[in-house]
Structure 1
Amino acid sequence: MDLDAIAEWSRYVVGAALFVYLGAWLGFSSEMGLRTRLRTEAANVGGVRSGELAAVSAETSVTARTAQEAGDDARPREEGGTAQVRQLAEQADSRGRAGRACLVVATVVLAVGVVMRGVGTGRFPWGNMHEFSITAGLVASIAFIYLGRTAAGRIVTAWGSLIVFITLGLAVTLLYVPPGPLVPALQSYWLIVHVGCAVVAFGLFTVAAVVQAMQIIAERAGRRGQVTGFAASLPASSTLDRLGYRLTAIGFPIWTVGPLILGAIWAEVSWGRYWDWDPKEVWALITWLVYAAYLHARATAGWKGSKASVVGLIGFATALFSYFGVNIFFGGMHVYGGL
């Protein structure tokens, strides 16, 4: 099999990973549904117990035998409820493990597809939007595997798996570009470090955006006292807030070094100037400024919770536009690989 064929087949390998990511999302979603039922059943069992104790204590004239009979009659109901709670917990754990196993398998399959694309093209696989998408999806997927170690993390990972699924679906359809050589301007070792940092940072920003969206939902549900439904299944708002901050704090310096500093150095080497107000440069700077405002507001003004998460989501929206919008709606010196 020649190298071009290997690069072409990587598309089908990535397509196969799509179905495994769908399986991961279904597994995690099933776990969320079972845990919602679990909380309801556990609350019912707890309510029966506390109600019986209150009734016995209120009836001061009840005889010891009557209380004993009430307890004997309630014990089978308690035991039956406890058994059902235990069964639901076991089922939820099983679905969660299945979802995480699917996510690990999907990540491995995607990694194989990314490597095949790189081997087939004879370069690092981020020379166009198709390659950028599958590589950034791989970075995000690895981060979601780390988050999926706990039941709370798997709730976030469920929707992260869906985001990766959608990204890869676009990559193998609308964004697909047949393998081919890069234009001379991109045939440089600067491509590895400049775009490579952008891929890693974008993957981390994607995970942070999912976490921040969940944080807003969890905080609003907490204010309304919502104890059922999807919002009630989310981790604590404060936990999500800290996690979103940490992910952004890791991705921000990578974005600073890659797209901005190294990008400026490469521009000077290639075009003889550090800055040219190219649309991609401008939107990369806008993304940096929004995330810098997010980190600054948290560090100095003490912004936390939904206010900070909204700024983080705005930052991700600018990164998305830099990724999709500039390539689709604008020209410029950075639009090389088409879609």
Structure 2
Amino acid sequence: MNLAAANNQSLADFSTVLIYSAMAVYVLAFLGHIAEWTFGSRSKVARTASALSPRRRSVVAPEVRAKATAGAAGAEQGGGTAVLDRPKVVTRSAGARPDVPDGPGAAAGDAQGDLYGTIALALTVLAFLVHAAGVLTRALSVQRVPWANMYEFSTTFSMVAVASYLGFVVAKKNVRWIGLPLVTTVLLDLGLATTVLYAESDQLPPALDSYWLVIHVSLAIFCGALLYLGTVGTVLYLFRDRYEVKLEEGRQPGAFATSVLERLPSAASLDKFAYRINAAVFPFWTFTIVAGAIWAESAWGRYWGWDPKEVWSFITWAAYACYLHARATAGWKGRKAAYLALAAFSCYLFNYYGVNFLFSGQHSYAGVD
């Protein structure tokens, strides 16, 4: 082995160490998010959710209600018109906890929850930096973009997903609720990448050695990362919506559901978040498929060949097109639209995992034996 090859192997090994180190810090961030959601009685996440919830129950104070009833009865008996004071209405959010009083105790819980949340966010930033360093050193070890096989694609995909989340945070968007499911999924993704999908660093196959690799695959990673965030919003919307419905119907959700779901934004906000992401990403996913067709013509002399990867890319595109069309024309909102969005993202996941493992074709570059 010459000196250059030895240096490249050292970089590849160092990249693996950095990915494992990032996983360790992500575990700490995961524990921080758990602490924020568990020990913070009314964390920043909970307060924001209460402020955003459109489903609010108006609770009129009993003494005011009694006074109003008596006044109305007297007016009816006397045949006159009673002028009543405007009732004082106490509004309680669908997500507010009636068992947590206001005052010093609640303030202490707020500070505690915010402290855990700040620590979790700081650890997520640190883990992302180590993660990005691992992806960069992998690229330097082979002197190319680091997404030529499933291992490299997976590590880059999760890195972009975290970067997107942190971008929303920097833009001061209400996305703290994404932190826990995001870090959990990133740990699963990196665990799968380092155990099942790992491949030694190597040079590109001739068909992949093209500038279209940068355009086509980078777009696929970017779209997938954002679609994942939209899917998180969709899944949490389904749980939050059921929680709000139970409250509207006067049914009391379980203690665990209450402690978790009250910290989410309202169902309407989650639904809007998911829809906006899916609608914004769809044109980029369309261009991803077009770029892949152009690359296919350059590499294999045809734009479309009904390869399994091509077919499932189109199926994913069609599924998201149905979702957007249903919301725009058929008025599908809420749970029906959410199920369509989940089906569409399932197509994306199958296009990545299922096609690579179950089918063989011209896109068989998974790097997994």
Structure 1: 5+ residue stretches without partners? 40-49, 58-79
Q: Partner of 2:7 in structure 1?
A: 2
Q: Do structure 1's residue 248 and structure 2's residue 278 form an aligned pair?
A: yes
Picking from 152, 157, 162, the partner of 1:141 is: 162
Q: Partner of 1:43 in structure 2?
A: none
What's the TM-score once normalised by structure 2's chain length? 0.78
Q: Partner of 2:241 in structure 1?
A: 219
Tell me how far apart the structure 1 counterparts of residues 216 and 168 of structure 2 sit (CA, whole Å): 27
Q: Partner of 1:62 in structure 2?
A: none
Verify the 8 A CA contact 1:8 1:179 in the aligned structure 2: no
Q: Partner of 2:312 in structure 1?
A: 283
Q: Which amino acid aligns with 1:90?
A: A
The change in CA–CA distance for 1:34 and 1:179 in structure 2 (over 3 A counts) is same
Verify the 8 A CA contact 2:177 2:263 in the aligned structure 1: yes
Q: Do structure 1's residue 30 and structure 2's residue 35 form an aligned pair?
A: yes
Q: Do structure 1's residue 317 and structure 2's residue 346 form an aligned pair?
A: yes
Give the C-alpha shift of residue 147 in structure 1: 4.2
Q: Partner of 1:154 in structure 2?
A: 176
Q: Partner of 2:301 in structure 1?
A: 272
Give the C-alpha shift of residue 316 in structure 1: 0.9
Verify the 8 A CA contact 1:152 1:234 in the aligned structure 2: no
Q: Partner of 1:90 in structure 2?
A: 111
Moved more, 142-151 or 264-273: 142-151
The change in CA–CA distance for 1:271 and 1:90 in structure 2 (over 3 A counts) is same
Q: Partner of 1:239 in structure 2?
A: 269
- Provide the alpha-carbon RMSD of the alignment: 2.4
Picking from 114, 119, 127, the partner of 2:135 is: 114
Q: Do structure 1's residue 293 and structure 2's residue 322 form an aligned pair?
A: yes
Q: Partner of 2:146 in structure 1?
A: 125
Tell me how far apart the structure 1 counterparts of residues 40 and 268 of structure 2 sit (CA, whole Å): 21
Q: Partner of 1:307 in structure 2?
A: 336
Moved more, 133-142 or 30-39: 30-39
Helix, strand or coil: the match of 1:172? Answer: helix
Tell me how far apart the structure 1 counterparts of residues 276 and 129 of structure 2 sit (CA, whole Å): 25
Q: Which amino acid aligns with 2:150?
A: M
Structure 2: 5+ residue stretches without partners? 1-5, 47-59, 68-100
Q: Which has the higher helix share?
A: 1
Q: Which amino acid aligns with 1:233?
A: R
The change in CA–CA distance for 1:35 and 1:91 in structure 2 (over 3 A counts) is closer
Helix, strand or coil: the match of 1:308? Answer: helix
The change in CA–CA distance for 1:307 and 1:275 in structure 2 (over 3 A counts) is same
Helix, strand or coil: the match of 1:217? Answer: helix
Picking from 316, 327, 331, the partner of 2:356 is: 327
Helix, strand or coil: the match of 1:2? Answer: helix
Q: Which amino acid aligns with 1:164?
A: V
Moved more, 310-319 or 220-229: 220-229
Deviations 1:276-314 (A, max 9, x none): 111000111110000111111112122222221111111
Deviations 1:123-149 (A, max 9, x none): 001100011111111111012224456
Aligned pairs for 1:35-114 within 5 A = 35-36=40-41, 82-114=103-135
Tell me how far apart the structure 2 counterparts of residues 113 and 286 of structure 1 sit (CA, whole Å): 33
Give the C-alpha shift of residue 156 in structure 1: 2.3
Aligned pairs for 1:169-188 within 5 A = 169-188=191-210
Give the C-alpha shift of residue 15 in structure 1: 1.1
Verify the 8 A CA contact 2:308 2:359 in the aligned structure 1: yes
Verify the 8 A CA contact 1:96 1:151 in the aligned structure 2: no
What's the TM-score once normalised by structure 1's chain length? 0.84
Give the C-alpha shift of residue 98 in structure 1: 0.6
Q: Which amino acid aligns with 1:254?
A: F
Corresponding pairs, count: 306
Verify the 8 A CA contact 2:41 2:109 in the aligned structure 1: no
Tell me how far apart the structure 2 counterparts of residues 337 and 222 of structure 1 sit (CA, whole Å): 43
